[in-house]
Chains A and B, each alone.
Chain A
Amino acid sequence: MADELTWKDLEVGNIIKEAGNASFRETGDWRTEKPILDKEKCVKCALCWIYCPDAAIKPSEEGYYESDLYYCKGCGICASICPERAITMIAEEEK
């Protein structure tokens, strides 16, 4: 019976062991509209990156700023402040 799990082996509850573990949460499913980036119009000014309240827009390796749909709540701030109108919001389709 040595390998049986007892209550003593359980972890103590209500302790958060990792700082910033909220980043495992998917907040993208709140969304009703998603941002679509037109790379031809994008001038890489990073305004969308700095104004995203959910920190969902990440710099990509080619220097564009693309939204991570795992976090994006679809507020549309990026589309409204984009000086080149490179971001458009389109309705999420039903799964």
Chain B
Amino acid sequence: MKAQAVKFGEKLVPTKEFLAEGHSFCIGCGEALALRLACKALGKDVIIANATGCIEICTSPLPFTSWRVPWIHTLFENTAAVISGVEAGLKTLTKKNKRPVRDIKCVAIAGDGGTSDIGIQALSGAFERNHEFLYICFDNEAYMNTGVQRSSATPYGASTTTAPAGKFSIGQITRKKNMVAIAAAHDIPYVATACPSYRFDLMKKVRKGAEVKGPAYVHILSPCPTGWRYSTELTVKIGQLAVQTGIFPLYEIENGRYRLNADPPKLKPIEEYLKLQGRYRHLTGEQIERIQEMVNEDYAKLKKKVAASPM
């Protein structure tokens, strides 16, 4: 008999894949990895609304689909609106006793462009109306699907095709939009950041977000070998370095209470993370120092919030 789950210490991870093999994600895609783990955490009782983006085109090239769970493709701007409607519909059917009583989770997934640029007003509206859904943002820090154009989630100093580095520019000249803080500002019950390199942390957060009463937001950093320009086998390592250098700290905000999930005693220098990626290749020592200052500043701010939260 085939094993139902694989055991990691005390943790059991199901072997069933809700995202079928044979999808057309790039070789070594961090987003595919994050999505696979998230689908394992969500299980089969789920309805997914998926904004246009890498995930949508790579999982549903007609006549094939990778999805083994109910899935709907939406536009960039209305993912959160569609999932609000799905959730409201389920609620009404339950009230009228027209569907079997089963806990069906509503999940919206989108990329960083679909979340922080185009879909932000629908998302803000859905948070404000207090729909019971989980919104997962797979952040690969640019519009990778259409050829690495900058988005508001692209970090300072990264070179993209529409913000190229050269004699007069260092690439992206603005700072990354803090989507997690924007979600937290809606005072929703659960907000978290995750990274596929920290697999159990990611699965725990996705499950927590899906089970919480009210809206939840999980922001997942998805390393992208194509757009970040690094060798495909480094996906997991780059995710770990992003956390260990403090540029993408793992934390969760539960009912306003901040908690750091990975708190290294001493942060690694940001150079270790930057030097592996081709999009940062043009940076000089001075510019790297500037980025280090930004990271230190943001991390100190986060630490302050964690310290100020009641235990």
Residues of A at under 8 Å CB distance from B? 14, 16, 19-27, 30, 46, 49-56, 59, 68, 71, 73-77, 79-81, 89
Q: Which of B3, B23, B62 sits near A59, CB closer than 8 Å?
A: B3
Q: How large is the interface on B (under 10, 10 to 19, 20 to 34, 35 or more residues)?
A: 35 or more
Q: Which of B6, B17, B232 sits near A75, CB closer than 8 Å?
A: B232
Interfacial residues of chain B within 18-72, with CB under 8 A of chain A in the complex: 19-25, 27-30, 32-33, 36-37, 59, 61-69
Tell me if B305 counts as interface (CB < 8 A to partner A): no
Instruction: Establish whether residues B63 and A14, one from each chain, have CB atoms under 8 Å apart when the complex forms.
Output: yes
**Cα of A21 to Cα of B225 in the assembled complex, Å:** 26
**Cα of A74 to Cα of B233 in the assembled complex, Å:** 9
Report A-chain residues with C-beta under 8 Å of the C-beta of B23: 22, 27, 54
Instruction: Establish whether residues B25 and A54, one from each chain, have CB atoms under 8 Å apart when the complex forms.
Output: yes
Report B-chain residues with C-beta under 8 Å of the C-beta of A59: 2-3, 6, 15
Tell me if B99 counts as interface (CB < 8 A to partner A): no
Report B-chain residues with C-beta under 8 Å of the C-beta of A75: 27-28, 225, 232-233, 235
**Cα of A71 to Cα of B196 in the assembled complex, Å:** 20
Report B-chain residues with C-beta under 8 Å of the C-beta of A71: 21-22
Of the A-B pairs whose beta carbons lie under 8 Å apart in the complex, a sample of 17, sorted by A's number, is A19-B65, A19-B69, A22-B20, A22-B59, A23-B21, A24-B22, A27-B22, A50-B199, A55-B36, A59-B3, A68-B21, A71-B21, A77-B33, A77-B233, A77-B236, A79-B233, A89-B233
Consensus secondary structure, chain A interface = loop
Instruction: Establish whether residues B22 and A23, one from each chain, have CB atoms under 8 Å apart when the complex forms.
Output: yes
Instruction: Establish whether residues B232 and A16, one from each chain, have CB atoms under 8 Å apart when the complex forms.
Output: no
Residues of B at under 8 Å CB distance from A? 2-3, 6, 8, 13, 15, 17, 19-25, 27-30, 32-33, 36-37, 59, 61-69, 196, 199, 225, 231-237
Instruction: Establish whether residues A46 and B233, one from each chain, have CB atoms under 8 Å apart when the complex forms.
Output: no
Report A-chain residues with C-beta under 8 Å of the C-beta of B25: 53-54
Report B-chain residues with C-beta under 8 Å of the C-beta of A23: 20-22, 66
Given known A-B contacts A23-B22, A59-B6, A81-B236, A53 and B59 have beta carbons under 8 A apart = no
4 smallest A-B Cβ distances: which pairs? A75-B28, A76-B233, A20-B20, A25-B22
Consensus secondary structure, chain B interface = loop
Known: A24-B64, A56-B21. 16 other contacts (CB 8 A): A19-B67, A20-B17, A22-B23, A22-B65, A25-B22, A25-B24, A27-B23, A51-B33, A55-B19, A55-B20, A75-B225, A75-B232, A75-B235, A77-B235, A80-B234, A89-B233
Report B-chain residues with C-beta under 8 Å of the C-beta of A16: 62-65
**Cα of A7 to Cα of B170 in the assembled complex, Å:** 60
Instruction: Establish whether residues B19 and A46, one from each chain, have CB atoms under 8 Å apart when the complex forms.
Output: no
CB contacts between A and B, total, < 8 Å: 110
**Cα of A44 to Cα of B28 in the assembled complex, Å:** 22
Instruction: Establish whether residues B233 and A25, one from each chain, have CB atoms under 8 Å apart when the complex forms.
Output: no
Closest Cβ of chain B to A34, distance in Å, is: 12
Closest Cβ of chain B to A29, distance in Å, is: 12
With CB as the reference atom, state the residue of chain B lying closest to A21. Answer: B64
Instruction: Establish whether residues B24 and A27, one from each chain, have CB atoms under 8 Å apart when the complex forms.
Output: yes
Instruction: Establish whether residues B64 and A22, one from each chain, have CB atoms under 8 Å apart when the complex forms.
Output: yes
Q: Which of B6, B61, B232, B235 sits near A49, CB closer than 8 Å?
A: B6
> Could you say which of B27, B32, B69, B234 has the most chain A C-beta atoms within 10 Å of its C-beta?
B27
Q: Which of B13, B37, B65 sits near A21, CB closer than 8 Å?
A: B65
Closest Cβ of chain A to B15, distance in Å, is: 6
**Cα of A76 to Cα of B225 in the assembled complex, Å:** 12
Report B-chain residues with C-beta under 8 Å of the C-beta of A79: 233
Closest Cβ of chain B to A1, distance in Å, is: 31
Report B-chain residues with C-beta under 8 Å of the C-beta of A26: 22
